[in-house]
Amino acid sequence: MDFLRPASWSEALETKANHPDATPIAGGTDVMVELNFDRSRPGTLLDLTRVERLAQWSRDPRPGGAVLRVGAGVPYSRLIEELGTSLPGLAVAARTVGSPQIRNRGTLGGNLASASPAGDGHPPLIAAEAEVELESVRGTRTLPVSEFFTGVKRTALAADELISAVHVPEATGPQQFSKIGPRNAMVIAVCTFAVALHPRRGTVGTGMGAAAPTPRAATEAEEFLAGELTESRRWERPDPLPESVVGRFGELVARAATPIDDVRGTARYRTHALGVLARRTLGWAWDEYRNGTATAGRQGCA
């Protein structure tokens, strides 16, 4: 196995262009597991840990609201510590990832590149309408996160491309995330759900994990809830949500799922659980909206 270690981003892109089959590695929390269990044996590893640009983030003020450009090499621990207020949904999800050691090593870019349907970072990114920045020696392009995943552990990355960053709109309302697993920590999710309220636009974002071949939004549920909040003028006067609205939201989320049976849970259980998570996270988010409180405090693990 060849081991390549570029010192700069330009060198990394050139190396990937010359070695399109090379497997990128940053935190290594997914790649090393595959190697240790002999599930993967790449001919070349492309180590990106020396590329400082990947470990940086910046805030871009825009007329419609600021956007955070988060480098693909920023680890989960820094997402929690440095971006918890700006990207609360992502921070809550990051708290549920592995152990402290894994959160110190694992990166958002690596999570995206692995493209697991159960990836914890994916649902809050979809709910926040984030975009993935892809780069090669040919240039740079961005894709909505929802379009980045093309199948189970498959992505829209070209052979010579690397993930350089994720562009995430700064939260303008409450965001929440919840996860069900066989235990409370260091576990692959049975299913996950994220919700984001966008009061300035009068819209709602959702994201589901381990519920389909790829992470996805529950579009019908989003449209239903946004319509109810607008029609009842609850964006301006945030009264308690009727149980009928919360229940219908959960039903529509569950209906959007197409899960499978596997060792962690049955499709029937996942469908039921997603409805529960949808109602629960909506309740948390709406309480925060009503009370005007910050959104980064809950652990989010069911």
For the stretch 12-46, pLDDT in tens is: 999 999 999 999 999 888 888 888 888 888 899 99
135: pLDDT strictly greater than 70: yes
Strands 23-25 and 2-4, sheet pairing? unpaired
Return the closest-CA partner of residue 69 out of 48, 52, 83, 51: 83
pLDDT at 34: 82
Distance CA 167, CA 209 (A): 20
pLDDT at 293: 57
Identify the DSSP state of 22: P
Banded pLDDT at 183 (limits 50, 70, 90): confident
Cα-flanking dihedrals φ and ψ of residue 299, to 5°?
Answer: -70, -40
The residue-averaged pLDDT of 129-144 equals 98
pLDDT at 33: 80
The residue-averaged pLDDT of 221-247 equals 97
pLDDT at 186: 79
Strands 131-136 and 162-169, sheet pairing? antiparallel
Banded pLDDT at 294 (limits 50, 70, 90): very low
Amino acid at 156: A
pLDDT at 120: 94
85: pLDDT strictly greater than 60: yes
Q: How many CB atoms lie within 10 A of CB 249?
A: 26
89: pLDDT strictly greater than 90: yes
Q: Model pTM?
A: 0.93
